[in-house]
Chain A
Amino acid sequence: MRDRIFAPSRMLIYLVVWLIATAWLVPFVVVVLNSLRTAEEIAQTSMIGWPKQWAWSNYVTAWAEFCVAQTCAGIRPYMLNSAIVTIPATIISTMLGAVAGYAVSLWRFRGDQWIYGIVTLGIFLPQQMRLLPWTIVLRDVGLINTLTGLVVIHTIQGLSFTTLFCRNYYVAIPPELMRAARIDGAGFFRIFWRIVLPLSPPILIVTVIWQFTHIWNEFLYGVTFTTGQQQPVTAALIALSAAIADIPQHGVQSAAVMIAALPTLLIYVLGGRYFVRGLTAGAVK
């Protein structure tokens, strides 16, 4: 199986794999091209085509001008909402998960395995089982239809993943290291700060990427607990397609989709290795 690229069987492999790869790229290329075509041009032909004139203005309209339900500020406020929810929820859930993962992996205390088992069940419990309780909790504390409410939800729910990731990473820390630190009189926080945290960057990057992607892309909670100007960008995209169903604006809509997908795509491109590691770490459970 040496790389003789011109052997017939090798060429077949390259042909098949690149054909599938092209098919996989089509949706992305179509959206990029459409985001640069005018509505008239798309209406005359189809969604699939090369721009005759480059309509960069689609991005301006998508970012700051088009109207969703009476407000005409483009996708900008919703992108901001998503950022306001995603960034704090990612940071807080990762920090708490790191401490919790450290506690259950390196400190034994009564009931540690039990509570850790329950926490990981959160990976499997469908969101639908938590929708009504969250509604009531958010209403009772006055956080319904607020971004803070979404931060709280994503922080608490994210703990299942962040604790799992960190715990599985920290159990590999040699016990001798812990024992030596304790003999030196180091306590819970000092050991975390001095020994565990310096070893943590790889797992923290995986966790942050995982949390950011999931929270940014989340839709159900966004659409259930927020309305109008408070919605994250995923919910706004759906509202947008409903709002302009009468007068199709596929160029602008494609630009909006591109903008909304950009943060997670960037993270994927920049941190691909860690991204994949998170996927497989989540799968092994």
Chain B
Amino acid sequence: MTHTVAAETRTGRPVTFGILRRLPEHLAIWVPLLLSAGHLVSFALWTVWISFTPSTLVPVSGWVGLRNYTAVMATRNWQIAFDNLLLFGCGFVLLSLLTGLLLAVLLDQRIRGENVLRSIFLYPIALSFVVTGTVWSWLLNPGLGIQKLVNDIGWTSFRFDWLIDRDMAIWTIVIAAVWQSSGFAMALFLAGLRSVDADLIKAAQIDGAGPIRMYRRVILPTLWPITVTVVVIQLQFAITTFDLVRALTGGGPGLATQLPALVVYDLMFQRGLLARGAAAAVLMLLILLAVLLPYAGWRYLQRRQAAHA
């Protein structure tokens, strides 16, 4: 399969005619690829460039160095968003990982109705974050949802008002996000559990390992490459979270659930500070790269090891 497209012309006719004859196939190959790659590279570079200009309402050229970056990072808005991202990222990733793993291990016990259960844990993934956020904003609203229900039943001192509590509001985002994406972690873990070497399990059984020891010592250790993948994907989602917060809390109360993606949107389209918005977007990209580059390096090493083995 190593011949090139151009070398295919064996007709002996002039090369230009060959190219013309092959025009449709060149178009089919290059137009989608160039559209995709071209827009990615030029859009990313353009946004990086704008972040170094003094642009406000319209893009202008000029060079202000890192001034937009220092300005963004000095705002309370960004600082809160960044702290929230750390909290949300860690809480969400950890909880959805544990929930997903627990569900996968439970479903792996050859239980009846596995397909139904799997569908139940996965269905939130089919929903948009706007729907998820709206529904959870009702359930978690102390005057409408769970708290109101428990109060009405008779436990009048029951409080579950994280949605309007500045310190706890970020955890409402965690709850909704865990509900939405634990099923995804479960699906990947389950696939991993199902591909554990049967000989490994048999050998452990002969050694007299009980089910708990079996999981801790034999099965779970084989899952760690999948764990890394799940963590990276969930972190990527956490860093770019936007819709969920817009629908659930709108970033409030106050700035309590502000996240970087909301800061970017606010700067670009509500305050008309294009350069600062672009700088915040680039900061988001850098946070993402801090996760993705080590992952890419790890994957590369893994593949090389696999190739040598």
Contact = CB atoms under 8 A, between A and B. Distances in A.
Interface string A128-147: 11111110100000000000
Given A24-B120, A218-B128, A265-B127, 14 more contacts: A21-B117, A27-B132, A106-B1, A115-B33, A126-B261, A130-B44, A163-B36, A217-B131, A220-B243, A237-B134, A261-B126, A268-B125, A280-B191, A283-B184
Interface stretch (B88-96, B102-110, B162-170): B102-110
Interface in B238-288: 239-240, 242-243, 246-247, 261, 264-265, 268-269, 274, 277-278, 280-282, 284-285, 288
B258 to A, nearest CB: 15
Contacts of A229: none
A283 B120 contact: no
B155 interface: no
Nearest to A98: B32
Interface string B29-69: 10111111101111110110010000000010000000000
B46 A133 contact: yes
A275 B126 contact: yes
A272 B126 CA distance: 10
A103 B29 contact: yes
A127 interface: yes
A47 B138 contact: yes
Given A24-B121, A103-B28, A250-B144, A220 B139 contact: no
B105 to A, nearest CB: 9
Given A107-B5, A188-B28, A129 B282 contact: yes
Contact of B281 (A3, A49, A126, A279): A126
6 A-B pairs with the lowest CB-CB distances in the bound complex, closest first: A217-B128, A268-B126, A46-B148, A188-B25, A133-B43, A118-B37
Given A99-B28, A126-B239, A126-B288, A261 B127 contact: yes
Interface of B: 1-6, 8, 22, 24-25, 28-29, 31-37, 39-44, 46-47, 50, 59, 99, 102-103, 106-107, 109-112, 117, 119-132, 134-139, 141, 144-146, 148-149, 152, 179, 183-184, 187-188, 191, 211, 229-230, 233, 236, 239-240, 242-243, 246-247, 261, 264-265, 268-269, 274, 277-278, 280-282, 284-285, 288, 292
A252 interface: no
B131 A261 contact: yes
Interface stretch (A10-18, A55-63, A65-73, A200-208): A10-18
8 contacts: A24-B121, A47-B148, A106-B1, A156-B36, A187-B25, A235-B130, A238-B247, A241-B247
B164 to A, nearest CB: 14
B33 A103 contact: yes
Given A132-B46, A264-B128, A283-B233, A219 B243 contact: yes
B120 A126 contact: no
A253 B133 CA distance: 13
Nearest to B283: A128
A220 B292 CA distance: 23
Contacts of A257: 131, 134-135
Nearest to A48: B149
B135 A128 contact: no
B112 A104 contact: no
A250 B138 contact: yes
A260 B131 CA distance: 8
Interface residues of A, number: 96
A100 B281 contact: no
A129 B127 contact: no
A52 interface: no
B116 to A, nearest CB: 8
B284 A188 contact: no
Contacts of A30: 135, 138-139
A25 interface: yes
B121 A261 contact: no
Given A99-B32, A126-B239, A275-B126, A224 B106 contact: no
Contact of A119 (B25, B40, B46): B40
B56 to A, nearest CB: 12
Nearest to A128: B281
B33 A217 contact: no
Nearest to A277: B187
B113 to A, nearest CB: 9
A259 B44 CA distance: 36
A266 B102 CA distance: 27
Contacts of B144: 42, 46-47, 250
A122 interface: yes
A1 B201 CA distance: 13
A188 B265 CA distance: 44
Nearest to B236: A124
A84 interface: no
Given A30-B135, A46-B152, A219 B59 contact: no
A265 B126 CA distance: 6
B219 to A, nearest CB: 13
A93 to B, nearest CB: 9
A108 B131 contact: no
B188 A280 contact: yes
Given A96-B32, A119-B40, A265-B127, A132 B240 contact: no
Nearest to B123: A268
B112 A5 contact: yes
